[in-house]
Chains A and B, each alone.
Chain A
Amino acid sequence: MTTATETPQDVPTSPPAPSRLKDIVRQLISTRRVIVGIVILVLLVLLSLIGPMISPWNVGERDYGALLKGISPDHWFGTNRTGLDIFTQTTAGLQKSLLIGLLVAAISTVMAALIGAFAGYFGGITDRTLTWIANLALVLPSFVILAILSRHFVGQGGWLILVVLLAAFSWMVTSKMVRGLTISLREREYIHAARFMGVPPTRSSSATSCRTCRRCSSPTPRSRSAPRSSVRPR
């Protein structure tokens, strides 16, 4: 009786399980827009890192011989009225700006996906509460609040407060879109199947519908480009 000692070679080789990550990466790389965007981002990061190094001036250094001067070999972007070199200021400031932008985008998108999915999936009192909070956040004058609190943003760690506040004021519109998508997905068969299989609702709502929403919304660039910057000052 040697059947129990089957060697692995005897098993017919099945194709490797499809990997979501691999799929996404392959899809992204084959899109030209994504490549262009990544290249621009990488260039910006490089500029922010290399800029202060190759500049002959330090961030806080003032050139009292050249106040409010235009572009020159000494000052590639000119100087401001206190003699600070604008090129150094720009590239050094870009580091923090990039970090703030990336963090705010990541945090607010995660918040929007979670809140929207929960509101759409559970409905009822959860939905009403979350929608009401989103409406309140939309009504709160974010620009005024940021301006009033601006003196807390200077100094060590102040930019983290800015990140939190910016994220707290930029999730609402996306979360409403996710909520709408989730409602339309809630009654699909595979969500029912997941529920009958005993997957707890928190998991099925957050994991499944977030993923599906993302999948539904990502291939159509049109539906994503909803305006979200209309409240910024002009």
Chain B
Amino acid sequence: MGKFLARRLLNYVVLIFIATSFAYLLAATNLQPRVYFEQMQPPPPPEVVNTQLDSLNLNDQTPLAERYVTWISGVLTGDFGKNIQGGDVTAQMWLKAGVTLRLITVATLLGSALGIAIGAYAAVRQYRAFDKAATGASFFVLSIPTVVIAIVIQVLAVAINDGLGFTFLKYVGEYSAGFQGNLWETLLNRVHHAILPTLVLALALFAAFARYQRNMMLDVLGSDFVRTAMAKGLTRRKALFKHALRTALIPTITYFTFTFGALVSGSTFTEKIYGWHGMGAWLIDSIARQDVHVVAAVSWFMAVTIMAASFLSDILYAWLDPRVRV
């Protein structure tokens, strides 16, 4: 088992290296940092632009291979280079990752728990009223892009605030700008800001999880061991919880780790719309700013989170499903 995991891990490291290098080369050949400097007002003289680009290792007159070697040798020592404004990419990356983690942790836990509960119960009551309502609701949510959900909820919040006459719901930013207060007040302020974006993500995730869990549960409910569990005298509730649900949860947990990994840098729209400066928003801004190093760093981060999720799901799978451990 240990050897198997070690080999997996090595394979993942190679994959991450290739994926990040690919993203860097693509970004370095397709983005134009020179244009970013040339469009400044007033336009700086070409020599200044060149020295700027040289100091950032972004000069397109330097051969690509040379820039790549400089960049990759920095990455190997944990330095992702400078962003286009001269800031340190590595330090910023951990800052942005923190913002996104604060946004998505509660949302994924809430959304998946809700989805699993509703999906599992819908499977038990297949084709009854609850199942039909749950299926209808989740398909309705699934067919709306998260962008639209985010904007609709924001518009609703504005309407509610207007109707009440005071800011009942906050819909911009992670915390109030210039907010001063003790630890408790700061926490409260942050939670107040987090409610709506968390709701948006949880809603979008709930639908996917409900569908997935319902299907997994239906597969399990028809199987022999559940019938055996009932036949040997267990109550229906016990058979469903201890035998059916537990087995049906195994694939969902894999799905959960992947969703979480993907969301760390994939909550772009929610972050942009609600003014949270997280990973996804950073990526979009950096592409607009022709910022090669940030794009490469976000790609590295995405690859690492996906691989971590995959590795974690391997371990969880082995832990939950004894058949894998042979």
Q: Is B116 engaged at the interface, CB distance under 8 Å to the other chain?
A: no
User: Residues of A contacting B208 with CB < 8 Å?
Assistant: 227, 229-230
Query: Are A230 and B16 touching (Cβ within 8 A)?
Result: no
Which chain A residues numbered 100 to 121 have a C-beta less than 8 Å away from chain B?
none
Query: Are B26 and A148 touching (Cβ within 8 A)?
Result: yes
Query: Are A225 and B31 touching (Cβ within 8 A)?
Result: no
Stretch among A45-53, A59-67, A139-147 lining the B interface: A139-147
Name A's B-contacting residues (CB within 8 A).
Answer: 132, 135-136, 138-141, 143-145, 147-149, 151, 222-223, 225, 227, 229-234
Name B's A-contacting residues (CB within 8 A).
Answer: 11, 15-16, 18-19, 22-23, 26-27, 30-31, 146, 201, 204, 208, 211-212, 215, 218-219, 255, 258-259, 262-263, 265-270, 280, 283-284, 287, 295, 298-299, 302-303, 306-307
Query: Are A148 and B27 touching (Cβ within 8 A)?
Result: yes
Bound: A132/B14 CA distance, A: 11
Query: Are A230 and B19 touching (Cβ within 8 A)?
Result: no
Shortest beta-carbon distance from A162 to chain B in Å: 15
9 cross-chain pairs, A with B, having the tightest CB-CB distances, nearest first = A233-B268, A234-B146, A222-B215, A141-B302, A139-B19, A231-B262, A141-B299, A233-B266, A139-B303
Bound: A227/B18 CA distance, A: 26
Query: Are B215 and A234 touching (Cβ within 8 A)?
Result: no
Bound: A132/B23 CA distance, A: 18
Query: Are B267 and A148 touching (Cβ within 8 A)?
Result: no
User: Residues of B contacting A223 with CB < 8 Å?
Assistant: 215, 219
Query: Are B267 and A139 touching (Cβ within 8 A)?
Result: no
Query: Are A135 and B15 touching (Cβ within 8 A)?
Result: yes
Partner pick for A230 among B23, B259, B267, B299, CB 8 A cutoff: B259
User: Residues of B contacting A144 with CB < 8 Å?
Assistant: 23, 27, 283, 295, 298-299, 302
Known: A139-B306, A232-B266. A147 touches B284 (CB 8 A): yes
Query: Are A136 and B302 touching (Cβ within 8 A)?
Result: no
Query: Are A234 and B266 touching (Cβ within 8 A)?
Result: yes
Shortest beta-carbon distance from B13 to chain A in Å: 11
- Interface SS majority for chain A: helix
Query: Are A141 and B19 touching (Cβ within 8 A)?
Result: yes
Bound: A147/B19 CA distance, A: 16
Q: Could you list 29 examples of A-B contacts with CB < 8 Å? A: A132-B11, A135-B11, A139-B16, A139-B307, A140-B19, A140-B22, A141-B23, A141-B265, A143-B268, A144-B27, A144-B283, A144-B299, A148-B27, A148-B31, A149-B30, A151-B30, A222-B215, A223-B215, A227-B255, A230-B208, A230-B255, A230-B258, A230-B259, A231-B262, A233-B146, A233-B268, A234-B201, A234-B268, A234-B269
Query: Are A233 and B19 touching (Cβ within 8 A)?
Result: no
Bound: A166/B16 CA distance, A: 21
Nearest B residue to A234, CB-CB: B146
User: Residues of A contacting B283 with CB < 8 Å?
Assistant: 144, 147
User: Residues of B contacting A232 with CB < 8 Å?
Assistant: 266
Bound: A121/B267 CA distance, A: 38
Known: A139-B16, A148-B26. A234 touches B204 (CB 8 A): yes
Shortest beta-carbon distance from B314 to chain A in Å: 12
Query: Are B266 and A231 touching (Cβ within 8 A)?
Result: yes
Bound: A135/B18 CA distance, A: 11
Nearest A residue to B306, CB-CB: A139
User: Residues of B contacting A230 with CB < 8 Å?
Assistant: 208, 255, 258-259, 262
Bound: A129/B146 CA distance, A: 36
Query: Are B23 and A140 touching (Cβ within 8 A)?
Result: yes
Bound: A225/B209 CA distance, A: 12
Query: Are B298 and A141 touching (Cβ within 8 A)?
Result: yes
Bound: A151/B19 CA distance, A: 21
User: Residues of A contacting B270 with CB < 8 Å?
Assistant: 234
User: Residues of B contacting A139 with CB < 8 Å?
Assistant: 15-16, 18-19, 303, 306-307
Query: Are A145 and B15 touching (Cβ within 8 A)?
Result: no
Shortest beta-carbon distance from B149 to chain A in Å: 9
User: Residues of B contacting A225 with CB < 8 Å?
Assistant: 211-212, 215
Query: Are B26 and A141 touching (Cβ within 8 A)?
Result: no
Bound: A140/B20 CA distance, A: 8
Bound: A147/B299 CA distance, A: 12
Nearest A residue to B302, CB-CB: A141
Shortest beta-carbon distance from B158 to chain A in Å: 16
Shortest beta-carbon distance from B231 to chain A in Å: 24
User: Residues of B contacting A143 with CB < 8 Å?
Assistant: 266, 268
Query: Are A227 and B212 touching (Cβ within 8 A)?
Result: yes
User: Residues of B contacting A234 with CB < 8 Å?
Assistant: 146, 201, 204, 263, 266-270
Nearest B residue to A147, CB-CB: B287
